[in-house]
Chains A and B, each alone.
Chain A
Amino acid sequence: MDLSLTDEQVFLRDAARGALSRVDTVAAAREALEDDAARPDLWPTTVEAGWTGLLTSEANGGAELGLYDALLVAQEAGRALAPVPLVSTLAAATILDAGNDAAAEPAAAGELRVAWLPAAPPTDVEPRWTVDPRGGLLRGDLPTATVDGDEATLTGEVSWVPDAAQADALVAVGRTEDGRIVAVLLDVEAAGVSTEGLWRYDPTRPLGHVRLDGARGRTIAADEDAVARAWHVAQAVLAAEAVGTVDAILPIAVAYAKERHTFGRPIGSYQAVKHGLVEILRQLENARSLLMYVAWAAENDHAQLPLAAAAARSGAEHALDVATRQNISVHGGTGATWEHDAPLYFRRAQLSRRLLGGAAGATDRVAGELMAGVTPA
């Protein structure tokens, strides 16, 4: 029984923290709200640090580390509110690597920038593979796919795709007429591919709506399990980013509760404030425990990965919601002003909770997996 970090993991984490400390990413986030040019480009840092190839096997030019290692990096990105394209590149790499695709190596090396069009696997009550809709509660169908040899043509729409407008290529997921799930590598310049780049509320998460209209690309030899795994990896990465952000917020709120006085005593001595801060700690520690479950499942029992990743996402995003709101409250009116950092963390929470099926979608999947009889470790 040993859940402590190895020396290599500590090194990886510290290196990530160091690399991301070169730019004041939180200050940049505030500036970017009003000035697009102020957005730091962390792609060179991402490539230099080798984060694009964290999960890719050595045979395909990657570092072949465990999922937990990637989650350590994601926690650091979340801590700094750094716009590092981890969700998109790691999910795409999962599919490319499983298919031993020719693009796996340049993607791992950062020579080819690949984003992934999120596709959610079925649940116990939703038999379809689905994509996030533009709005509303009805989930969209996967793009339709027509396979022709080692190529395929896709038609459909995927909304709210992380890092879509910055990518050179897209890993898309489609459904053939006979119900097969196929992964396809598309050049963003190919005919029939149109990407609308956009930002919403959180200036550290670039997004895009992608329309495919008879877009032709090369099929990737990844099976349905690998495509589903990409979804679960993405859920885990979002969870880890949220844990990192909460871990950054808690000491800020605690420090202020110690220094700010009202009625002759520090506000942190009031139970109402103290208990709220302890609640952040409780949820943070729970979310950390859930990341360890993800890591354990990824290494030991893939059948538990959907439950573990969904639970981590649900728990971590809930912790993020509670922490960002509590942080604003502890700071009083000041916490709700433009100059303060608290609103930037709040913006992160508000948007993240709605991406990739949403935190509610993850919670729903936890219920489904449990009712389907999955027994957690």
Chain B
Amino acid sequence: MDLNDDPEQGAFRQRVRGWLAEHAAEAPVVMGEGAIADEHERIDAWRAWQRKLADAGLCGVTWPEEFGGQGKGPIEQVIVNQELERAGVPGPLDFIGLGMMGPAIIVHGTQEQKTRHLGPMLHGDEVFCQLFSEPAAGSDLAGVTTRAVQADDGSFRITGQKVWTTNAQFSAYGVLLARTDADVPKHKGLTMFLVPMDAPGITIRGLRQISGEAEFNEVFLDDVAVPADAVLGDVGGGWTTALTVLMFERLSLGTTSVGYSAERFAQAIAAAPGAREDADVRQRLGALGTELIAGRFAGHRLLSDLAGGRLPGPEFGLGKVTVVRSAIDAGDLIADVLGPDALDADSEWAYMISFLPGLKSAGGTEEILRNTIGERVLGLPPEPRRDKGVPFSELQARQTEGTVA
């Protein structure tokens, strides 16, 4: 029962901590109180900070050394994350590129793609975004309808709409999943592309959420031309590439702290008059606190597995369900205890309360996650499906007619 570093990890942690002690003052404030207000200034400052982190070997921790990485394991990535949090400084600007897109390019990219993209990505010179979800394809991601049509010269023309795209407004490239063949079953007709975000025909629009802030974007593609060598992986092999990205997404989420802590909620509640003595408040806080603590130890268990060379399975997603649900309960309890002031725009809780209902569906809805875990972990029989083996064009025709087969 050991939560401590082994000697090698301990030495790595000391090195990271030492560098951060020396350079933390150079980090920009990018969130919360005192954050740089102007977005362009903020992004530029954050980009410069990523460059410093990269030069110090704190970006691409798990990337192979030949691509500028450190060649280390996920535990070392966690150590870096923990030390960044401890120092109170932001991590790299492009966590999507470094955590998901870079690793996918390393697995599926050509030598030219690796040489062209990985260096600029590592140093924050070119930020990457993920162009997967669509208005009508989220949990059922293989149902994307964005079309990529190949011309005689081998180039592609892409038309469609993507949504929930974090960082699109300052990204240099997007990793885009599109349909190249609608006459085969839906998982088979997909292809992954590396698309320059300044290409003619791309329009990016901020997507405002409950809180009023636009943390995501919608991306519209109107006959966007990309060359043949923009394909990542194989033409028709887009689903395989997507699964690689999603695996890295799970790993990336698993090694990042979510920051909802039982004691922080408890302190806010304890400070409200009459709350500490209220039996109902205590039961609710005790129940959600228990879940958050369990979520924290589930994280420790994941690290123990990683240290033992095991990768997280789909059941790890249950940790997200637990943390999001108990944070939702906490927001609800805090609003009950503090009253309407908790919902004031200046309150530290209003943003959390607004953000969590959407977070519940981030990375796949809770319902789909429960299906996946029920089938892959408990071995329960799958829901009967109407899309297996059916060409995508026929599925679409059925949907248009409003018929069920």
Tally of A-B residue pairs with Cβ under 8 A? 180
* A366 with B304: CB separation less than 8 A: no
Contact A1-B300, Cβ < 8 Å, known A277-B374, A277-B380, A287-B294? yes
Q: Which residues of B contact A300 (CB under 8 A)?
A: 3
Q: Looking at chain A's contact residues, is the secondary structure mostly helix, strand, loop, or mixed?
A: helix
Q: Check: A375 CB closer than 8 A to any chain B CB.
A: yes
> A315 touches which one: B262, B294, B315 (CB < 8 A)?
B294
Task: Identify which of residues 1-55 in chain B touch chain A, using a CB-to-CB cut-off of 8 Å.
Answer: 1-6, 9
Q: Check: B202 CB closer than 8 A to any chain A CB.
A: no
Residue of A nearest to B300 (CB): A3
Residue of A nearest to B75 (CB): A1
Residue of B nearest to A292 (CB): B297
Alpha-carbon separation in the docked complex, A345 to B263 (Å): 34
Q: Check: B151 CB closer than 8 A to any chain A CB.
A: no
> A371 touches which one: B3, B270, B294 (CB < 8 A)?
B270
Residue of B nearest to A254 (CB): B378
Contact A376-B2, Cβ < 8 Å, known A268-B374, A269-B383, A371-B267? no
Task: Identify which of residues 98-135 in chain B touch chain A, using a CB-to-CB cut-off of 8 Å.
Answer: none
Chain B interface size range: 35 or more
Alpha-carbon separation in the docked complex, A206 to B116 (Å): 72
Q: Which of A211-219, A225-233, A278-286 contacts B (4 or more CB under 8 A)?
A: A278-286
Task: Identify which of residues 62-119 in chain B touch chain A, using a CB-to-CB cut-off of 8 Å.
Answer: 75
Q: Check: A295 CB closer than 8 A to any chain B CB.
A: yes
* B300 with A278: CB separation less than 8 A: no
Q: Which residues of A contact B389 (CB under 8 A)?
A: none
Residue of A nearest to B262 (CB): A370
Residue of B nearest to A314 (CB): B290
> A286 touches which one: B286, B291, B304, B380 (CB < 8 A)?
B291
Q: Which of B216-224, B249-257, B277-285 contacts A (4 or more CB under 8 A)?
A: B277-285
> A265 touches which one: B307, B318, B377, B384 (CB < 8 A)?
B384
* B379 with A282: CB separation less than 8 A: no
* A296 with B276: CB separation less than 8 A: no
Q: Which of B174-182, B365-373, B396-404 contacts A (4 or more CB under 8 A)?
A: B365-373
Q: Which of A19-27, A91-99, A170-178, A357-365 contacts B (4 or more CB under 8 A)?
A: A357-365
Task: Identify which of residues 347-405 in chain B touch chain A, using a CB-to-CB cut-off of 8 Å.
Answer: 367, 370-371, 373-375, 377-384
Known: A269-B380, A287-B294. 19 other contacts (CB 8 A): A1-B6, A1-B307, A2-B304, A3-B1, A3-B301, A254-B378, A274-B374, A274-B380, A275-B371, A278-B374, A282-B318, A285-B315, A285-B318, A311-B294, A364-B282, A367-B281, A371-B276, A373-B263, A376-B262
Q: List 8 A-B contacts (CB under 8 A).
A: A268-B380, A269-B382, A364-B286, A365-B286, A370-B266, A370-B285, A370-B286, A371-B266
B-binding residues in A (CB < 8 A): 1-4, 66, 68, 124-125, 250, 254, 257-258, 265-266, 268-271, 274-275, 277-279, 281-282, 285-287, 289-290, 292-293, 295-296, 299-300, 307-308, 310-311, 314-315, 318, 360, 362-368, 370-371, 373-377
Query: Closest 5 interchain pairs by CB?
Result: A363-B286, A370-B266, A286-B294, A289-B297, A367-B286
